[in-house]
Amino acid sequence: MLYTKYNIPMYKLILSSLYFFLPAYFTNMTPPLAKRFRVFDFLDKPIDSNKTFNNKPILGAHKTWRGLVAGIIVGISVAYLQKWFYQFSWIKEISLFNYEKINILILGLLLSSGSLFGDLFFAFLKRRLSLKPGAKFLPFDQINYVIGAYIFFSLTLFFEIDNLVWIVLLISTFFLHIIVNRLGYHLRLHKAKW
């Protein structure tokens, strides 16, 4: 059985990594749900104010303040839920750190804002490549928020997350994202299957 620096078997590392990343997963799911259920309609304004860069949209009208704000609120809320769940022994066993001793607000903010930054950065790149919203951009459509969260965590000294966790997240998120988006497509929450 392969053990990691966290002194846990690999299967448990995968579960622990996914649990750690729950705030980012929920953040990533929030913008289309906020749009569908008309949450924060007053924030349904493009982040780039419909401005262009080299005659191309900076991000696109579909990247709105509503999605950004709702995503951050949901991500932070999920982190606080993780702190509450930490009272259960089975959650303690899969947690990468003690949720009672860390700054939950910063954890939730880093994961949610980092994942949204990754999404926005790759939307910017897609516009530069003249790809329309919803066009395939494999593998970045599936892992952009992992990359964004990794960058945010790397630039701060609040938490030490082993690179193996990020590798696990890149691989598992790629497949999970496709599965969840296919489901969202069939439920008419997403316009693209990927």
- Asked whether residue 194 is assigned to any structural domain, the reply reads no
Q: How far apart are CA 24 and CA 147, in angstroms?
A: 11
- Please tell me the predicted confidence (pLDDT) of residue 180: 80
Residue span of the structural domain in which 101 resides: 12-186
- Asked whether residue 5 is assigned to any structural domain, the reply reads no
Q: How far apart are CA 44 and CA 61, in angstroms?
A: 9
> Mind listing the pLDDT tens digit for each residue in 85-118?
999 999 999 999 899 999 999 999 999 999 999 9
Q: How far is CA 105 from CA 27, 108, 136, in A?
A: 14, 5, 34
The pTM of this model reads: 0.91
> Mind listing the pLDDT tens digit for each residue in 127-147?
999 998 878 888 998 999 999
Q: How far apart are CA 118 and CA 149, in angstroms?
A: 7
- Asked whether residue 120 is assigned to any structural domain, the reply reads yes
> Looking at the chain, how many residues does it have?
194
- Asked whether residue 7 is assigned to any structural domain, the reply reads no
Bridge partners (DSSP) listed for residue 53 = 56
Sign of the four-CA dihedral 150, 132, 26, 8? negative
- Asked whether residue 1 is assigned to any structural domain, the reply reads no
Number of folded domains that form the chain: 1
- Asked whether residue 170 is assigned to any structural domain, the reply reads yes
- Asked whether residue 27 is assigned to any structural domain, the reply reads yes
- Asked whether residue 78 is assigned to any structural domain, the reply reads yes
Tens-digit pLDDT string for the chain (194 aa): 344 566 778 889 999 999 999 999 999 999 989 999 999 999 999 999 999 999 999 999 999 999 999 999 999 999 999 999 999 999 999 999 899 999 999 999 999 999 999 999 999 999 999 998 878 888 998 999 999 999 999 888 788 899 999 999 999 999 998 888 788 777 776 666 66
- Please tell me the predicted confidence (pLDDT) of residue 5: 63
- Please tell me the predicted confidence (pLDDT) of residue 183: 83
